[in-house]
């Protein structure tokens, strides 16, 4: 027998974007469920956030817990990109330090915080069907549960599970791939504590301290990554992509499902949390007052953000001109010229 739940909003995905939407909706008194399919692999160890991560976390009431979680404050960033190497101190940054986080701890803490507010996370393994009838969505899971909701949110990250199921068009702007590894923590006084970014003929690499050690990642295009290196290091998608949707179809994406970013910009999690708040407020307006205009405003905001992001990313890549004959840089110079 299939059991049924009736909810106002059904969120697919329990990452930062989906949990941001759910937390805000709970704070607004809305009835929400978060459907969570266990990932095939955990997050790739570490990630670096700008100081602006404080804003969405504070809005969600999660900043104090984040600050106490033992993540590493980043006081210096070293870079070799497009010219002479340089270093930047956090003392000169008006918003404060970077944060180098244990991504697994960060995600688990978000889940715990949401579960303390309400029991809204429902695990599942198989999505059987998604159909819309008489203005309601009917979602069937594992042959045993049906969720009936007025609105769906795709927060499944780069997988875009709901978007693919519903036939949305995804626009990919490059083929960037990350090859990642972790290094055990070095507690010696001489251990490097700064974040490092360096361009190379075949892409660029990044290293940063985390509570467990150092996370290392090499970024190049998928067709340029040697098969031997791909076997030794963990590959993760890192390309820029955008999902095209209509705000009037009863569902919208958020976070990486809507717009995925090159790690060079460092915006992914901040934008997932911030836009999750915007989408949740728009959904609250829809449910409480029947006001759908805010959903279109949210869609336009995400599109404009992505266009500005691409322009800034192309300018950043255009700064590196040391290897004009290298395929990785040729591709990006052509885009920047266009």
pLDDT value of position 91: 66
Is pLDDT above 90 for 286?
yes
- Which helix (H) or strand (E) segment holds residue 278: the answer is helix 268-289
The residue among 230, 222, 123 whose CA lies nearest residue 174 is: 222
The CB density around residue 83, as the number of other CB atoms within 10 Å, is: 12
pLDDT value of position 256: 97
Backbone angles phi, psi at 206, to 5 degrees: -140, 140
Burial of 240 (0-12, 13-18, 19+ CB in 10 A): buried
Nearest-angstrom CA–CA distance, 172 and 224: 17
Contact status, residue 141 vs residue 128, Cβ threshold 8 Å: yes
Q: Which of 154-158, 192-196, 321-325 has the lowest mean pLDDT?
A: 192-196
pLDDT value of position 186: 73
**Residue 317 lies in domain:** 3-72+103-174+240-337
Nearest-angstrom CA–CA distance, 266 and 195: 12
Residue 235 lies in a domain: no
The residue among 74, 174, 161 whose CA lies nearest residue 124 is: 161
Question: How much is the average pLDDT of 40-61?
Answer: 84
Residue 87 lies in a domain: no
pLDDT value of position 38: 82
| Predicted confidence (pLDDT) per residue in 143-153, tens digit | 989 999 999 99
| Predicted confidence (pLDDT) per residue in 114-151, tens digit | 999 999 999 999 999 999 998 999 999 999 899 999 99
Torsion on CA atoms 310, 99, 182, 327, rounded to nearest 10: 20
Residue 203 lies in a domain: no
Contact status, residue 49 vs residue 101, Cβ threshold 8 Å: yes
Q: Which of 18-27, 45-54, 313-322 has the lowest mean pLDDT?
A: 45-54
Question: How much is the average pLDDT of 22-37?
Answer: 96
pLDDT value of position 53: 94
In the structure encoding, which two tokens stand for residue 58, read together? 């504070």
In the structure encoding, which two tokens stand for residue 10, read together? 């059904």
Percent of the chain with pLDDT over 70: 94
- The answer to pTM > 0.85 is yes
Torsion on CA atoms 36, 38, 39, 41, rounded to nearest 10: 150
Contact status, residue 183 vs residue 40, Cβ threshold 8 Å: no
pLDDT value of position 114: 93
Q: What is the pLDDT confidence band of residue 2, given thresholds at 50, 70 and 90?
A: low
Q: What is the mean pLDDT of the chain?
A: 91
Residue 234 lies in a domain: no
Nearest-angstrom CA–CA distance, 291 and 48: 37
pLDDT value of position 86: 86
- The length of the chain in residues reads 338
Question: How much is the average pLDDT of 283-295?
Answer: 94
Backbone angles phi, psi at 212, to 5 degrees: -90, -15
| Predicted confidence (pLDDT) per residue in 247-284, tens digit | 999 999 999 999 999 999 888 999 999 999 999 999 99
Residue 129 lies in a domain: yes
Residue 48 lies in a domain: yes
Residue 163 lies in a domain: yes
Higher pLDDT, 250 or 97: 250
Contact status, residue 297 vs residue 285, Cβ threshold 8 Å: no
In the structure encoding, which two tokens stand for residue 285, read together? 């307006």
**Residue 155: which CATH number?**
3.50.50.60
Burial of 152 (0-12, 13-18, 19+ CB in 10 A): buried
Q: What is the pLDDT confidence band of residue 192, given thresholds at 50, 70 and 90?
A: low
Residue 71: DSSP 8-state: P
Q: What is the CA radius of gyration of the chain?
A: 21
Q: What is the pLDDT confidence band of residue 74, given thresholds at 50, 70 and 90?
A: confident
Query: How many domains in the chain?
Result: 1
Is pLDDT above 80 for 27?
yes
Residue 185 lies in a domain: no
Q: Which residues pair with 117 in a beta bridge?
A: none
The CB density around residue 7, as the number of other CB atoms within 10 Å, is: 20
Nearest-angstrom CA–CA distance, 218 and 179: 5
Q: What is the pLDDT confidence band of residue 213, given thresholds at 50, 70 and 90?
A: confident
Nearest-angstrom CA–CA distance, 320 and 33: 46
Is pLDDT above 80 for 95?
no
């Amino acid at each position: 027998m299939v059991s049924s739940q009736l909810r106002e909003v059904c969120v697919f995905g329990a990452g930062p974007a989906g949990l941001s939407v759910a937390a805000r909706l709970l704070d607004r008194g809305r009835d929400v469920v978060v459907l969570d399919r266990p990932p095939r692999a955990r997050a790739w160890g570490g990630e670096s956030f700008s100081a602006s991560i404080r804003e969405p976390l504070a809005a969600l009431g999660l900043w104090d817990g984040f600050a106490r979680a033992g993540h590493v404050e980043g006081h210096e960033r070293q870079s070799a990109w497009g010219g002479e190497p340089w270093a930047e101190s956090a003392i000169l940054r008006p918003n404060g330090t970077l944060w180098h986080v244990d991504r697994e701890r960060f995600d688990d803490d978000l889940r715990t915080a949401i579960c303390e507010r309400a029991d809204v996370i429902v695990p599942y393994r198989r999505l059987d069907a998604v159909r819309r009838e008489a203005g309601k969505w009917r979602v069937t899971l594992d042959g045993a549960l049906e969720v009936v909701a007025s609105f769906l949110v795709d927060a499944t990250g780069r997988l875009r599970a709901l978007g693919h199921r519903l036939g949305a068009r995804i626009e990919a702007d490059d083929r960037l791939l990350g090859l990642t590894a972790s290094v055990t923590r070095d507690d010696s006084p001489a251990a490097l504590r700064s974040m490092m970014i360096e361009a190379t003929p075949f892409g660029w690499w990044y290293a940063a301290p985390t509570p467990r050690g150092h996370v290392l990642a090499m970024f190049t295009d998928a067709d340029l990554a040697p098969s031997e290196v791909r076997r030794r290091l963990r590959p993760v998608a890192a390309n820029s992509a955008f999902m095209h949707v209509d705000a009037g179809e009863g569902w919208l994406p958020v976070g990486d499902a809507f717009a995925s970013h090159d790690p060079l910009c460092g915006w992914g999690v901040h934008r997932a949390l911030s836009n999750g708040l915007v989408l949740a407020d728009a959904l609250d307006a829809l449910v409480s007052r029947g006001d759908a205009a805010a959903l279109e405003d949210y869609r336009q905001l995400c599109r404009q953000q992505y266009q500005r992001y691409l322009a800034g990313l192309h300018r950043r890549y255009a700064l590196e001109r040391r290897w004009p004959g290298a395929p990785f840089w040729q591709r990006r110079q052509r885009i920047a010229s266009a």
